[in-house]
């Protein structure tokens, strides 16, 4: 019988930092609302959540690094929105945000959830921020909770 390790979706007693961009703020605030609601519904206390605003997606990795290295949080949730139609440097901003956030998680050992929408249009972004059902902030928050738990389970059962 193979051994199995899985993280449950219990967030109680855990601390989370949300880094959210001001750029495309109307959409990103919907992601923040979704992430907060999700964390609370999974048992995280209000006071165990910190929301940090950053200018844009480009800045997310550096702030995620500072949050992860502070060791004050069990996971970081990065939320943002990069829309291709609105920027000729879409690929740089979106690509570097993704690469940087991944690098922070690997270097720090602290889970960093990728809740950055990368879409062609504002309509697509709004749809993924709750307008049509799905909300990337919720997805990122639940991934963060699961990652905290799966890493804790691995540490308990080497």
* Site residues, ligand INI (CB under 6 A): 21, 23-24, 55-59, 80-83, 86-87, 93
Backbone angles phi, psi at 79, to 5 degrees: -125, 130
Which of 22, 41, 45, 89 is catalytic? The answer is 89
| 42 given a catalytic annotation | no
Q: How far is the CB of 105 from ligand INI (least distance, A)?
A: 19
Interatomic CA distance for residues 117 and 140, integer angstroms: 11
Nearer to ligand INI, 57 or 64 (CB): 57
Residue whose C-alpha is closest to residue 11's, from 43, 54, 52, 59: 43
Q: If you count them, how many residues does the chain have? A: 158
Q: How far is the CB of 112 from ligand INI (least distance, A)?
A: 16
Residue number, nearest CB to ligand INI: 56
Task: Select 24 or 30, whichever has its Cβ closest to ligand INI.
Answer: 24
| 81 vs 147, beta carbon nearer ligand INI | 81
Closer to ligand INI by CB, 60 or 145: give it.
Answer: 60
Least distance in Å: CB of 39 to ligand INI?
A: 22
Q: Which of 79, 75, 72 is nearest to 139 (CA)?
A: 79
Compute how many other C-beta atoms are within 10 angstroms of the C-beta atom of residue 55: 11
* Cβ atoms of residues 129 and 34 within 8 Å: yes
Report which of 10, 28, 55, 4 is spatially closest to residue 128, judged by C-alpha positions: 28
Residues marked active site are found at: 89
């Amino acid at each position: 019988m193979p051994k199995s390790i899985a993280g449950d979706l219990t967030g109680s007693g855990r601390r989370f930092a949300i880094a959210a961009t001001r750029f495309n703020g109307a959409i990103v605030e919907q992601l923040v609302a979704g992430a907060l609601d999700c964390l609370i519904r999974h048992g995280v206390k209000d006071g165990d959540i910190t929301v940090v605003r950053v200018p844009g997606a480009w800045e997310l990795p550096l702030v995620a690094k500072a949050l992860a290295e502070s060791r004050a949080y069990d996971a970081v949730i990065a939320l943002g929105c990069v829309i291709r139609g609105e920027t000729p440097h879409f690929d740089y901003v979106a690509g570097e945000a993704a690469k940087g956030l991944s690098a922070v998680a690997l270097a720090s050992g602290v889970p960093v959830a990728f809740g950055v929408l990368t879409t062609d249009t504002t309509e697509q972004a709004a749809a993924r921020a709750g307008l049509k059902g799905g909300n990337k902030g919720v997805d990122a928050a639940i991934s963060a909770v699961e990652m905290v738990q799966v890493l804790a389970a691995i540490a308990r059962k080497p």
